[in-house]
Amino acid sequence: MENALIRTNRLGLKKLLGDQEAEIMEQVWAMGGEPVLARQVHERMPGGERLAYSTVVCTMGRLATKGLLKVIDATTKPYLYLPTLTREQFVDRTVGKLLEALAADFPLAVSRFLRPGDEQPPETVVQAILEAEE
């Protein structure tokens, strides 16, 4: 998720994804990581009766473009989607990329949060983040 915008005023996944994207991914992950149809996700969405089915289809297409969902067979309609990462993997990877980006520009500030009271050299902080991502 390159160039992701972090929305600190939101809760949970809505910090990392758009509101509908977060809701849709929560439903996809709640279905156990199995292939799903947009119709199945739409039926499970909170307030789904007020949400257009086409909005879910469009949003799932964007999530596939972003690499969070994969279309199983693009020659058939409707598409079956499969999550490419578990919820935990997505959060870990996204937070890791955010910390890496922050550490590159603000290494001392990041090091103070990672180890309060310990003034690590900036390159140590960046290395620790890179190792944690692997």
pLDDT digits (tens, 9 = 90+) for 116-131: 665 555 566 666 666 6
Structural domain containing residue 43: 13-84
Same domain as 70, residue 27: yes
Q: How large a percentage of the chain has pLDDT more than 70?
A: 81
Task: Assess whether 32 and 70 both reside in one domain.
Answer: yes
What is the pLDDT, as a whole number, of residue 57?
A: 94
Do 55 and 115 fall into the same domain?
no
Q: Is the dihedral of CA 2, 84, 73, 14 positive or negative?
A: negative
Q: Beta-carbon neighbour count of residue 26 at 10 Å? A: 19
CB of 103 closer than 8 Å to CB of 125 = yes
21 in Cβ contact with 86 (< 8 Å): no
Quick check: 98 and 6 in contact, CB under 8 A?
yes
Are residue 56 and residue 72 in the same domain, yes or no? yes
3 in a domain, yes or no? Answer: no
Measuring CA to CA, which residue among 11, 9, 13 is closest to residue 30? 13
SS3 content of the chain, % helix, strand, coil (to 5): 60, 5, 35
Write down the pTM of the prediction.
Answer: 0.77
Residue 133 — very low, low, confident or very high, per pLDDT cuts 50/70/90? low
Q: Are residues 60 and 47 in the same domain?
A: yes
CATH number reported for the structural domain that contains residue 75 in this entry? 1.10.10.10
